A and B are shown apart, each in its own frame.
Chain A
Protein backbone atom coordinates (compact mmCIF):
# COMPACT_ATOMS: atom_id res chain seq x y z
CA UNK A 1 0.00 0.00 0.00
CA UNK A 2 2.91 2.33 0.74
CA UNK A 3 4.29 1.72 -2.76
CA UNK A 4 0.85 2.36 -4.21
CA UNK A 5 0.70 5.70 -2.44
CA UNK A 6 3.86 6.76 -4.26
CA UNK A 7 2.25 6.03 -7.62
CA UNK A 8 4.12 2.79 -8.30
CA UNK A 9 2.18 0.94 -11.00
CA UNK A 10 3.95 -2.30 -10.09
CA UNK A 11 2.29 -2.12 -6.69
CA UNK A 12 -1.10 -1.95 -8.40
CA UNK A 13 -0.18 -4.94 -10.55
CA UNK A 14 0.70 -6.93 -7.44
CA UNK A 15 -2.52 -5.99 -5.68
CA UNK A 16 -4.50 -6.87 -8.80
CA UNK A 17 -2.83 -10.26 -9.08
CA UNK A 18 -3.41 -10.90 -5.42
CA UNK A 19 -7.03 -9.87 -5.05
CA UNK A 20 -8.74 -9.47 -8.43
CA UNK A 21 -10.14 -13.00 -8.48
CA UNK A 22 -11.68 -12.46 -5.07
CA UNK A 23 -13.06 -9.04 -6.00
CA UNK A 24 -14.49 -10.42 -9.24
CA UNK A 25 -16.02 -13.43 -7.49
CA UNK A 26 -17.74 -11.32 -4.83
CA UNK A 27 -19.06 -8.89 -7.41
CA UNK A 28 -20.27 -11.76 -9.59
CA UNK A 29 -22.04 -13.30 -6.59
CA UNK A 30 -23.95 -10.04 -6.10
CA UNK A 31 -24.58 -9.15 -9.74
CA UNK A 32 -24.72 -12.52 -11.53
CA UNK A 33 -23.38 -10.77 -14.62
CA UNK A 34 -19.76 -11.14 -15.74
CA UNK A 35 -19.63 -7.86 -17.63
CA UNK A 36 -21.02 -5.82 -14.74
CA UNK A 37 -18.74 -7.65 -12.32
CA UNK A 38 -15.71 -6.79 -14.45
CA UNK A 39 -16.79 -3.14 -14.46
CA UNK A 40 -16.85 -3.24 -10.67
CA UNK A 41 -13.39 -4.83 -10.55
CA UNK A 42 -12.05 -2.02 -12.71
CA UNK A 43 -13.69 0.66 -10.55
CA UNK A 44 -12.43 -0.86 -7.31
CA UNK A 45 -8.81 -1.06 -8.44
CA UNK A 46 -8.85 2.36 -10.08
CA UNK A 47 -10.21 3.81 -6.87
CA UNK A 48 -7.38 2.15 -5.01
CA UNK A 49 -4.93 3.62 -7.51
CA UNK A 50 -6.32 7.14 -7.41
CA UNK A 51 -7.10 7.29 -3.70
CA UNK A 52 -4.85 4.87 -1.81
CA UNK A 53 -5.43 6.84 1.38
CA UNK A 54 -9.10 5.84 1.31
CA UNK A 55 -7.94 2.72 3.15
CA UNK A 56 -7.19 3.49 6.80
CA UNK A 57 -5.10 0.67 8.36
CA UNK A 58 -6.19 1.68 11.85
CA UNK A 59 -9.78 0.74 11.08
CA UNK A 60 -9.23 -2.89 10.17
CA UNK A 61 -7.61 -5.29 7.78
CA UNK A 62 -7.09 -4.45 4.15
CA UNK A 63 -8.95 -7.54 2.98
CA UNK A 64 -12.00 -6.55 5.07
CA UNK A 65 -11.93 -3.05 3.65
CA UNK A 66 -11.53 -4.32 0.10
CA UNK A 67 -14.43 -6.73 0.47
CA UNK A 68 -16.57 -3.97 1.94
CA UNK A 69 -15.79 -1.63 -0.96
CA UNK A 70 -16.43 -4.39 -3.48
CA UNK A 71 -19.71 -5.40 -1.94
CA UNK A 72 -20.96 -1.81 -1.62
CA UNK A 73 -20.02 -0.94 -5.18
CA UNK A 74 -21.63 -4.13 -6.46
CA UNK A 75 -24.84 -3.42 -4.57
CA UNK A 76 -24.86 0.10 -6.00
CA UNK A 77 -24.60 -1.39 -9.45
CA UNK A 78 -27.30 -3.93 -8.66
CA UNK A 79 -29.66 -1.18 -7.59
CA UNK A 80 -28.74 0.95 -10.57
CA UNK A 81 -29.66 -1.65 -13.10
CA UNK A 82 -32.64 -2.71 -10.96
CA UNK A 83 -31.84 -6.31 -11.51
CA UNK A 84 -32.46 -7.65 -8.09
CA UNK A 85 -32.27 -11.36 -8.71
CA UNK A 86 -33.17 -14.22 -6.51
CA UNK A 87 -29.79 -14.79 -4.97
CA UNK A 88 -30.71 -18.12 -3.42
CA UNK A 89 -31.78 -19.57 -6.76
CA UNK A 90 -28.57 -18.82 -8.61
CA UNK A 91 -26.03 -19.37 -5.89
CA UNK A 92 -23.72 -21.48 -8.00
CA UNK A 93 -24.98 -20.41 -11.36
CA UNK A 94 -22.30 -17.92 -12.27
CA UNK A 95 -20.51 -18.45 -15.55
CA UNK A 96 -17.23 -20.34 -15.49
CA UNK A 97 -15.99 -23.00 -13.16
CA UNK A 98 -14.97 -22.60 -9.58
CA UNK A 99 -11.24 -22.38 -9.17
CA UNK A 100 -9.14 -23.38 -6.21
CA UNK A 101 -6.88 -20.42 -5.55
CA UNK A 102 -7.51 -16.72 -5.15
CA UNK A 103 -4.86 -15.72 -7.64
CA UNK A 104 -1.43 -16.51 -8.98
CA UNK A 105 0.38 -14.92 -6.12
CA UNK A 106 4.03 -14.12 -5.87
CA UNK A 107 3.65 -13.96 -2.11
CA UNK A 108 3.04 -17.44 -0.67
CA UNK A 109 2.50 -16.04 2.81
CA UNK A 110 -0.27 -13.73 1.61
CA UNK A 111 -1.82 -16.54 -0.40
CA UNK A 112 -1.77 -18.80 2.63
CA UNK A 113 -3.35 -16.14 4.83
CA UNK A 114 -6.20 -15.49 2.41
CA UNK A 115 -6.66 -19.20 1.78
CA UNK A 116 -6.89 -19.90 5.51
CA UNK A 117 -9.38 -17.10 6.02
CA UNK A 118 -11.47 -18.32 3.08
CA UNK A 119 -11.48 -21.87 4.36
CA UNK A 120 -12.51 -20.71 7.82
CA UNK A 121 -15.30 -18.46 6.54
CA UNK A 122 -16.65 -21.11 4.18
CA UNK A 123 -16.59 -23.70 6.95
CA UNK A 124 -18.32 -21.31 9.34
CA UNK A 125 -21.01 -20.52 6.79
CA UNK A 126 -21.53 -24.22 6.05
CA UNK A 127 -21.96 -24.96 9.76
CA UNK A 128 -24.82 -22.46 10.03
CA UNK A 129 -28.34 -23.87 9.92
CA UNK A 130 -29.61 -23.41 6.34
CA UNK A 131 -32.30 -20.90 7.34
CA UNK A 132 -29.75 -18.69 9.12
CA UNK A 133 -27.27 -18.94 6.26
CA UNK A 134 -29.98 -18.00 3.79
CA UNK A 135 -31.04 -14.78 5.56
CA UNK A 136 -27.42 -13.73 5.98
CA UNK A 137 -26.66 -14.33 2.31
CA UNK A 138 -29.80 -12.48 1.23
CA UNK A 139 -28.76 -9.55 3.41
CA UNK A 140 -25.10 -9.53 2.46
CA UNK A 141 -25.11 -10.45 -1.22
CA UNK A 142 -28.63 -9.25 -2.04
CA UNK A 143 -28.52 -6.03 -0.04
CA UNK A 144 -31.98 -6.75 1.36
CA UNK A 145 -33.41 -5.32 4.57
CA UNK A 146 -35.12 -7.37 7.28
CA UNK A 147 -38.50 -6.48 5.83
CA UNK A 148 -37.48 -7.35 2.28
CA UNK A 149 -36.06 -10.68 3.42
CA UNK A 150 -39.31 -11.46 5.24
CA UNK A 151 -41.26 -10.63 2.07
CA UNK A 152 -38.92 -12.75 -0.02
CA UNK A 153 -38.90 -15.80 2.24
CA UNK A 154 -42.42 -15.55 3.59
CA UNK A 155 -41.12 -15.80 7.15
CA UNK A 156 -42.35 -13.54 9.96
CA UNK A 157 -40.23 -10.42 10.46
CA UNK A 158 -39.34 -11.43 14.01
CA UNK A 159 -38.11 -14.80 12.79
CA UNK A 160 -35.89 -13.12 10.21
CA UNK A 161 -34.41 -10.80 12.86
CA UNK A 162 -33.71 -13.70 15.20
CA UNK A 163 -32.07 -15.74 12.43
CA UNK A 164 -29.82 -12.83 11.50
CA UNK A 165 -28.79 -12.35 15.13
CA UNK A 166 -28.14 -16.02 15.81
CA UNK A 167 -26.33 -16.51 12.53
CA UNK A 168 -24.10 -13.50 13.05
CA UNK A 169 -23.35 -14.55 16.61
CA UNK A 170 -22.27 -18.03 15.44
CA UNK A 171 -20.10 -16.53 12.72
CA UNK A 172 -18.52 -14.21 15.26
CA UNK A 173 -17.73 -17.14 17.54
CA UNK A 174 -16.38 -19.26 14.69
CA UNK A 175 -14.26 -16.49 13.19
CA UNK A 176 -12.99 -14.83 16.35
CA UNK A 177 -9.37 -15.42 15.39
CA UNK A 178 -9.83 -13.46 12.17
CA UNK A 179 -11.44 -10.44 13.78
CA UNK A 180 -9.02 -7.71 14.83
CA UNK A 181 -11.67 -6.28 17.12
CA UNK A 182 -12.12 -9.44 19.13
CA UNK A 183 -8.83 -8.98 20.95
CA UNK A 184 -9.84 -5.39 21.65
CA UNK A 185 -13.13 -6.56 23.09
CA UNK A 186 -11.50 -9.15 25.30
CA UNK A 187 -8.95 -6.69 26.65
CA UNK A 188 -11.61 -4.23 27.79
Chain B
Protein backbone atom coordinates (compact mmCIF):
# COMPACT_ATOMS: atom_id res chain seq x y z
CA UNK B 1 0.00 0.00 0.00
CA UNK B 2 1.44 3.35 -1.05
CA UNK B 3 1.39 6.31 1.36
CA UNK B 4 -1.35 7.89 -0.78
CA UNK B 5 -3.48 4.74 -0.67
CA UNK B 6 -2.97 4.52 3.05
CA UNK B 7 -3.93 8.17 3.56
CA UNK B 8 -6.92 7.70 1.24
CA UNK B 9 -8.12 4.77 3.31
CA UNK B 10 -7.71 6.48 6.68
CA UNK B 11 -9.16 9.84 5.64
CA UNK B 12 -12.18 8.18 4.06
CA UNK B 13 -12.68 5.96 7.12
CA UNK B 14 -12.65 9.03 9.35
CA UNK B 15 -15.31 10.55 7.14
CA UNK B 16 -17.34 7.31 7.21
CA UNK B 17 -17.42 6.81 3.45
CA UNK B 18 -15.86 3.34 3.21
CA UNK B 19 -17.68 0.17 2.24
CA UNK B 20 -17.65 -2.65 4.81
CA UNK B 21 -14.65 -4.59 3.41
CA UNK B 22 -12.60 -1.40 3.13
CA UNK B 23 -13.65 -0.39 6.65
CA UNK B 24 -12.47 -3.77 7.92
CA UNK B 25 -9.10 -3.20 6.21
CA UNK B 26 -8.88 0.27 7.74
CA UNK B 27 -9.73 -1.01 11.22
CA UNK B 28 -7.09 -3.73 10.88
CA UNK B 29 -4.49 -1.15 9.85
CA UNK B 30 -5.43 1.12 12.76
CA UNK B 31 -5.20 -1.77 15.23
CA UNK B 32 -1.83 -2.97 14.04
CA UNK B 33 -0.02 0.24 13.15
CA UNK B 34 0.32 2.99 15.79
CA UNK B 35 1.25 5.59 13.16
CA UNK B 36 -1.90 4.77 11.22
CA UNK B 37 -3.93 5.02 14.41
CA UNK B 38 -2.54 8.50 15.07
CA UNK B 39 -3.20 9.57 11.49
CA UNK B 40 -6.74 8.23 11.70
CA UNK B 41 -7.47 10.09 14.95
CA UNK B 42 -6.22 13.33 13.40
CA UNK B 43 -8.52 12.88 10.42
CA UNK B 44 -11.37 11.86 12.69
CA UNK B 45 -11.10 15.09 14.63
CA UNK B 46 -11.03 17.09 11.40
CA UNK B 47 -14.11 15.23 10.19
CA UNK B 48 -15.96 16.16 13.37
CA UNK B 49 -15.02 19.81 12.88
CA UNK B 50 -16.73 19.85 9.47
CA UNK B 51 -20.01 20.15 11.33
CA UNK B 52 -19.01 23.65 12.37
CA UNK B 53 -19.25 24.82 8.75
CA UNK B 54 -23.06 24.75 8.75
CA UNK B 55 -25.02 28.00 8.56
CA UNK B 56 -26.56 28.61 11.98
CA UNK B 57 -30.33 28.33 12.36
CA UNK B 58 -32.26 28.97 15.52
CA UNK B 59 -34.50 26.23 16.85
CA UNK B 60 -37.98 26.85 18.18
CA UNK B 61 -37.48 28.71 21.51
CA UNK B 62 -40.07 26.39 23.09
CA UNK B 63 -37.74 23.46 22.48
CA UNK B 64 -35.54 24.54 25.39
CA UNK B 65 -38.31 24.09 27.91
CA UNK B 66 -39.36 20.79 26.34
CA UNK B 67 -35.83 19.42 26.67
CA UNK B 68 -35.42 20.62 30.24
CA UNK B 69 -38.85 19.33 31.24
CA UNK B 70 -38.02 15.93 29.77
CA UNK B 71 -34.72 15.98 31.67
CA UNK B 72 -36.48 16.77 34.95
CA UNK B 73 -38.93 13.92 34.38
CA UNK B 74 -36.12 11.59 33.53
CA UNK B 75 -34.63 9.98 36.58
CA UNK B 76 -31.05 9.44 35.65
CA UNK B 77 -29.18 6.39 36.81
CA UNK B 78 -27.02 7.22 39.76
CA UNK B 79 -23.41 6.21 39.53
CA UNK B 80 -22.95 6.48 43.27
CA UNK B 81 -24.93 4.76 45.99
CA UNK B 82 -27.30 7.22 47.58
CA UNK B 83 -27.03 5.61 51.00
CA UNK B 84 -23.96 4.56 52.86
CA UNK B 85 -24.18 1.16 54.52
CA UNK B 86 -22.62 2.28 57.78
CA UNK B 87 -25.37 4.87 58.27
CA UNK B 88 -28.18 2.55 57.27
CA UNK B 89 -30.37 1.28 60.11
CA UNK B 90 -30.45 -2.49 60.61
CA UNK B 91 -34.16 -2.73 59.91
CA UNK B 92 -33.64 -1.01 56.54
CA UNK B 93 -30.94 -3.53 55.67
CA UNK B 94 -33.21 -6.38 56.74
CA UNK B 95 -36.06 -5.03 54.64
CA UNK B 96 -33.76 -4.60 51.67
CA UNK B 97 -32.47 -8.14 52.10
CA UNK B 98 -36.00 -9.49 52.26
CA UNK B 99 -36.99 -7.54 49.17
CA UNK B 100 -33.98 -8.83 47.24
CA UNK B 101 -34.73 -12.40 48.34
CA UNK B 102 -38.34 -12.12 47.21
CA UNK B 103 -37.24 -10.55 43.95
CA UNK B 104 -34.72 -13.32 43.33
CA UNK B 105 -37.34 -16.00 44.07
CA UNK B 106 -39.80 -14.29 41.72
CA UNK B 107 -37.14 -14.04 39.04
CA UNK B 108 -36.31 -17.71 39.43
CA UNK B 109 -40.00 -18.63 39.08
CA UNK B 110 -40.30 -16.44 36.02
CA UNK B 111 -37.25 -18.07 34.46
CA UNK B 112 -38.66 -21.53 35.08
CA UNK B 113 -41.97 -20.48 33.54
CA UNK B 114 -40.15 -19.01 30.56
CA UNK B 115 -38.21 -22.25 30.08
CA UNK B 116 -41.46 -24.24 30.13
CA UNK B 117 -43.10 -21.86 27.70
CA UNK B 118 -40.10 -21.99 25.40
CA UNK B 119 -40.08 -25.78 25.51
CA UNK B 120 -43.78 -25.83 24.69
CA UNK B 121 -43.28 -23.40 21.86
CA UNK B 122 -40.38 -25.43 20.54
CA UNK B 123 -42.57 -28.54 20.60
CA UNK B 124 -45.26 -26.74 18.62
CA UNK B 125 -42.75 -25.48 16.10
CA UNK B 126 -41.25 -28.95 15.78
CA UNK B 127 -44.67 -30.47 15.34
CA UNK B 128 -45.56 -27.94 12.66
CA UNK B 129 -42.28 -28.59 10.93
CA UNK B 130 -42.95 -32.35 10.84
CA UNK B 131 -46.48 -31.74 9.60
CA UNK B 132 -45.14 -29.54 6.84
CA UNK B 133 -42.66 -32.27 5.97
CA UNK B 134 -45.52 -34.74 5.59
CA UNK B 135 -47.50 -32.25 3.50
CA UNK B 136 -44.48 -31.65 1.34
CA UNK B 137 -44.10 -35.35 0.68
CA UNK B 138 -47.77 -36.02 0.04
CA UNK B 139 -48.82 -33.20 -2.21
CA UNK B 140 -47.57 -32.06 -5.56
CA UNK B 141 -46.32 -28.54 -6.06
CA UNK B 142 -45.47 -28.13 -2.42
CA UNK B 143 -42.11 -26.50 -2.81
CA UNK B 144 -43.36 -23.57 -0.76
CA UNK B 145 -44.28 -25.86 2.13
CA UNK B 146 -40.87 -27.50 1.93
CA UNK B 147 -39.17 -24.12 2.06
CA UNK B 148 -41.25 -23.11 5.03
CA UNK B 149 -40.43 -26.37 6.74
CA UNK B 150 -36.74 -25.79 6.23
CA UNK B 151 -37.04 -22.27 7.59
CA UNK B 152 -38.91 -23.50 10.65
CA UNK B 153 -36.37 -26.23 11.27
CA UNK B 154 -33.57 -23.73 10.92
CA UNK B 155 -35.26 -21.27 13.30
CA UNK B 156 -35.86 -24.08 15.79
CA UNK B 157 -32.21 -25.15 15.70
CA UNK B 158 -31.06 -21.53 16.10
CA UNK B 159 -33.35 -21.00 19.07
CA UNK B 160 -32.17 -24.23 20.69
CA UNK B 161 -28.54 -23.19 20.16
CA UNK B 162 -29.19 -19.77 21.70
CA UNK B 163 -30.85 -21.33 24.75
CA UNK B 164 -28.11 -23.90 25.25
CA UNK B 165 -25.27 -21.41 24.98
CA UNK B 166 -26.96 -18.92 27.30
CA UNK B 167 -27.63 -21.69 29.80
CA UNK B 168 -23.99 -22.80 29.88
CA UNK B 169 -22.39 -21.25 32.99
CA UNK B 170 -18.95 -21.79 31.45
CA UNK B 171 -19.79 -19.96 28.22
CA UNK B 172 -17.10 -17.41 27.34
CA UNK B 173 -18.44 -13.89 26.72
CA UNK B 174 -16.53 -11.38 24.59
CA UNK B 175 -17.86 -7.84 24.75
CA UNK B 176 -18.39 -6.30 21.31
CA UNK B 177 -16.38 -3.13 20.65
CA UNK B 178 -18.11 -0.05 19.34
CA UNK B 179 -17.14 1.70 16.12
CA UNK B 180 -17.87 5.10 14.64
CA UNK B 181 -21.13 3.62 13.33
CA UNK B 182 -22.30 2.00 16.59
CA UNK B 183 -24.45 4.91 17.78
CA UNK B 184 -24.95 3.29 21.19
CA UNK B 185 -25.22 -0.32 20.04
CA UNK B 186 -23.61 -3.01 22.15
CA UNK B 187 -23.58 -6.70 22.84
CA UNK B 188 -21.53 -9.80 23.42
CA UNK B 189 -20.28 -12.86 21.57
CA UNK B 190 -20.92 -15.96 23.65
CA UNK B 191 -19.15 -19.23 22.99
CA UNK B 192 -19.98 -22.48 24.71
CA UNK B 193 -17.29 -25.14 24.52
CA UNK B 194 -19.77 -27.58 26.01
CA UNK B 195 -22.41 -27.01 23.34
CA UNK B 196 -19.98 -26.35 20.49
CA UNK B 197 -21.94 -23.28 19.51
CA UNK B 198 -21.71 -19.48 19.56
CA UNK B 199 -24.29 -16.76 19.86
CA UNK B 200 -24.27 -13.02 19.27
CA UNK B 201 -26.48 -11.12 21.70
CA UNK B 202 -26.93 -7.52 20.51
CA UNK B 203 -28.89 -4.49 21.64
CA UNK B 204 -29.63 -0.89 20.61
CA UNK B 205 -28.67 -1.53 16.99
CA UNK B 206 -29.05 1.49 14.69
CA UNK B 207 -32.15 1.52 12.50
CA UNK B 208 -31.77 0.08 9.03
CA UNK B 209 -33.18 1.57 5.84
CA UNK B 210 -36.20 -0.22 4.39
CA UNK B 211 -35.04 -3.56 2.94
CA UNK B 212 -31.75 -3.50 4.87
CA UNK B 213 -30.20 -6.23 7.02
CA UNK B 214 -27.28 -6.83 9.32
CA UNK B 215 -24.58 -9.31 8.36
CA UNK B 216 -22.12 -11.13 10.61
CA UNK B 217 -18.65 -11.62 9.15
CA UNK B 218 -15.94 -13.77 10.70
CA UNK B 219 -12.26 -13.14 10.00
CA UNK B 220 -9.73 -15.97 10.09
CA UNK B 221 -6.02 -15.62 10.96
CA UNK B 222 -5.26 -14.99 7.28
CA UNK B 223 -7.71 -12.05 7.24
CA UNK B 224 -10.14 -13.98 5.07
CA UNK B 225 -13.76 -13.00 5.72
CA UNK B 226 -16.63 -15.47 5.82
CA UNK B 227 -20.28 -14.51 5.93
CA UNK B 228 -21.65 -16.28 9.01
CA UNK B 229 -25.18 -14.96 9.32
CA UNK B 230 -27.65 -12.35 8.15
CA UNK B 231 -30.40 -10.98 10.33
CA UNK B 232 -32.91 -8.20 10.93
CA UNK B 233 -33.22 -6.84 14.50
CA UNK B 234 -36.41 -7.31 16.49
CA UNK B 235 -38.78 -4.44 17.29
CA UNK B 236 -36.57 -3.27 20.18
CA UNK B 237 -33.54 -3.20 17.84
CA UNK B 238 -31.98 -6.21 19.54
CA UNK B 239 -31.00 -9.61 18.17
CA UNK B 240 -29.84 -13.06 19.22
CA UNK B 241 -27.99 -14.76 16.40
CA UNK B 242 -26.80 -18.37 16.47
CA UNK B 243 -23.68 -19.03 14.40
CA UNK B 244 -23.07 -22.30 12.61
CA UNK B 245 -20.21 -24.31 13.99
CA UNK B 246 -18.31 -24.72 10.73
CA UNK B 247 -18.21 -21.00 10.07
CA UNK B 248 -16.70 -20.30 13.47
CA UNK B 249 -13.64 -22.40 12.79
CA UNK B 250 -10.44 -20.40 13.10
CA UNK B 251 -12.34 -17.13 13.61
CA UNK B 252 -10.20 -14.49 15.29
CA UNK B 253 -12.52 -11.55 14.82
CA UNK B 254 -16.22 -10.98 14.33
CA UNK B 255 -17.85 -7.99 12.61
CA UNK B 256 -21.48 -6.89 12.57
CA UNK B 257 -22.10 -4.91 9.40
CA UNK B 258 -25.18 -2.90 8.40
CA UNK B 259 -26.19 -3.32 4.78
CA UNK B 260 -28.83 -1.35 2.94
CA UNK B 261 -30.08 -4.21 0.78
CA UNK B 262 -30.83 -7.60 2.29
CA UNK B 263 -31.48 -9.14 -1.14
CA UNK B 264 -28.10 -8.13 -2.55
CA UNK B 265 -25.24 -10.41 -1.42
CA UNK B 266 -22.71 -7.82 -2.60
CA UNK B 267 -24.27 -4.97 -0.61
CA UNK B 268 -21.93 -3.50 1.95
CA UNK B 269 -22.11 -0.90 4.69
CA UNK B 270 -20.51 0.32 7.90
CA UNK B 271 -19.12 -1.95 10.62
CA UNK B 272 -21.43 -1.35 13.59
CA UNK B 273 -19.79 -3.65 16.14
CA UNK B 274 -16.69 -5.80 16.20
CA UNK B 275 -14.73 -8.02 18.57
CA UNK B 276 -11.39 -9.75 18.72
CA UNK B 277 -12.10 -13.27 19.89
CA UNK B 278 -10.00 -14.89 22.60
CA UNK B 279 -8.22 -18.05 21.58
CA UNK B 280 -10.46 -20.28 23.64
CA UNK B 281 -13.52 -18.86 21.94
CA UNK B 282 -12.17 -19.05 18.41
CA UNK B 283 -10.64 -22.51 18.22
CA UNK B 284 -12.12 -25.91 18.64
Q: Which residues of A contact B (CB under 8 A)?
A: 5, 7, 9, 12-13, 16-17, 20-22, 24-26, 28-29, 34, 37-38, 41-42, 45-46, 49-51, 53, 60-61, 63-65, 67-68, 70-73, 76, 79-80, 82, 92, 94-102, 114, 117-118, 121-122, 125, 136-137, 139-141, 143-147, 149, 161-162, 164-165, 168-169, 171-172, 175, 178-182, 184-185, 188
Q: Which residues of B contact A (CB under 8 A)?
A: 4, 7-8, 11-12, 14-19, 35, 38-39, 41-60, 63-64, 66-68, 70-72, 74, 76-79, 180-181, 183, 206-210, 268-269
Residue of A nearest to B4 (CB): A165
Q: Chain B's nearest CB lies how many Å from the CB of A39?
A: 10
CB-CB under 8 A for A67 and B49, given A25-B57, A165-B7, A184-B38: yes
CB neighbours (8 Å) of B67 from chain A are 12, 16, 20, 41-42, 45-46
CB neighbours (8 Å) of A7 from chain B are 76, 78
**Contact check: which of B16, B44, B72, B206 meets A139 at CB < 8 Å?**
B16
6 intermolecular pairs with C-beta atoms under 8 Å apart: A42-B70, A68-B51, A72-B180, A95-B57, A96-B57, A169-B11
CB neighbours (8 Å) of B72 from chain A are 9
Find out whether the CB atom of A53 lies under 8 angstroms from the CB atom of B74: no
Find out whether the CB atom of B52 lies under 8 angstroms from the CB atom of A165: no
Find out whether the CB atom of A92 lies under 8 angstroms from the CB atom of B12: no
Residue of A nearest to B206 (CB): A76
Find out whether the CB atom of A181 lies under 8 angstroms from the CB atom of B71: no
Q: Chain A's nearest CB lies how many Å from the CB of B11?
A: 4
Q: Chain B's nearest CB lies how many Å from the CB of A10?
A: 10
CB-CB under 8 A for A96 and B58, given A121-B49, A136-B15, A145-B19: yes
Q: How far is the CA of A94 from the CA of B118 in the complex (A)?
A: 52
Find out whether the CB atom of B71 lies under 8 angstroms from the CB atom of A45: yes
Find out whether the CB atom of B79 lies under 8 angstroms from the CB atom of A53: yes
CB neighbours (8 Å) of A68 from chain B are 48, 51, 180
Find out whether the CB atom of A94 lies under 8 angstroms from the CB atom of B38: no
Q: Chain A's nearest CB lies how many Å from the CB of B35?
A: 8
Find out whether the CB atom of A13 lies under 8 angstroms from the CB atom of B68: yes
**Contact check: which of A95, A145, A180 meets B18 at CB < 8 Å?**
A145
Q: Chain B's nearest CB lies how many Å from the CB of A161?
A: 6
Q: How far is the CA of A144 from the CA of B39 in the complex (A)?
A: 22
Q: How far is the CA of A102 from the CA of B52 in the complex (A)?
A: 10
CB neighbours (8 Å) of A188 from chain B are 35, 38
**Contact check: which of A9, A26, A72, A96 meets B54 at CB < 8 Å?**
A26
CB neighbours (8 Å) of B7 from chain A are 165, 169
Find out whether the CB atom of B58 lies under 8 angstroms from the CB atom of A146: no
Find out whether the CB atom of B42 lies under 8 angstroms from the CB atom of A181: yes
Find out whether the CB atom of A140 lies under 8 angstroms from the CB atom of B50: yes
Q: How far is the CA of A50 from the CA of B71 in the complex (A)?
A: 8
Q: How far is the CA of A185 from the CA of B37 in the complex (A)?
A: 10
Q: How far is the CA of A161 from the CA of B71 in the complex (A)?
A: 43
Q: How far is the CA of A172 from the CA of B43 in the complex (A)?
A: 7
Q: How far is the CA of A68 from the CA of B207 in the complex (A)?
A: 17
CB-CB under 8 A for A139 and B68, given A25-B54, A26-B54, A175-B49: no
The residue among A37, A99, A161 with the most chain B CB atoms within 10 A of its own CB is A161
Find out whether the CB atom of B52 lies under 8 angstroms from the CB atom of A122: yes
**Contact check: which of A16, A37, A114, A122 meets B68 at CB < 8 Å?**
A16
Find out whether the CB atom of B79 lies under 8 angstroms from the CB atom of A164: no
Q: How far is the CA of A73 from the CA of B51 in the complex (A)?
A: 13
Q: Chain B's nearest CB lies how many Å from the CB of A2?
A: 13
Find out whether the CB atom of B63 lies under 8 angstroms from the CB atom of A41: yes
